[in-house]
Amino acid sequence: MSPLRKARKARGWQLQTVTDLVREMGGSIDNTNLSRIERCQQTASLALAEKLCLVFGGELTELQILYPERFMPKAPGEEAAA
């Protein structure tokens, strides 16, 4: 699970909650794109990553949003990147 999705779920927020908060900050995102970002199927822009960090009060870093695979648990038997 990506750090973004983990943080959202930990707060009990729906996708719509996050998109509404980002929009209040002047950002542009919809539920579909946010879901793709959470599932590592789409990469957030730098501006969106910054706004998401603000939405989560600094709980997440821009690196965690832009490169979530680096912060996800490795599958059993998978070697760590050197």
CATH no. of 3-67: 1.10.260.40
Q: Where are the domains of the chain?
A: 3-67
pLDDT tens track for 42-78: 999 999 999 999 999 999 999 999 999 999 988 776 6
Q: What average pLDDT does the segment 21-30 reach? A: 96
The secondary element (H helix, E strand) that includes residue 63 is helix 62-66
pLDDT band per the 50, 70, 90 thresholds, residue 82: very low
Look at residues 51, 75, 79 and name the one whose alpha carbon lies nearest to residue 65: 51
**Distance between CA atoms of residues 36 and 58, nearest Å:** 21
Residue 70: per-residue pLDDT? 94
pLDDT, position 34: 98
Q: CA dihedral in degrees (26, 1, 36, 77; nearest 10)?
A: 140
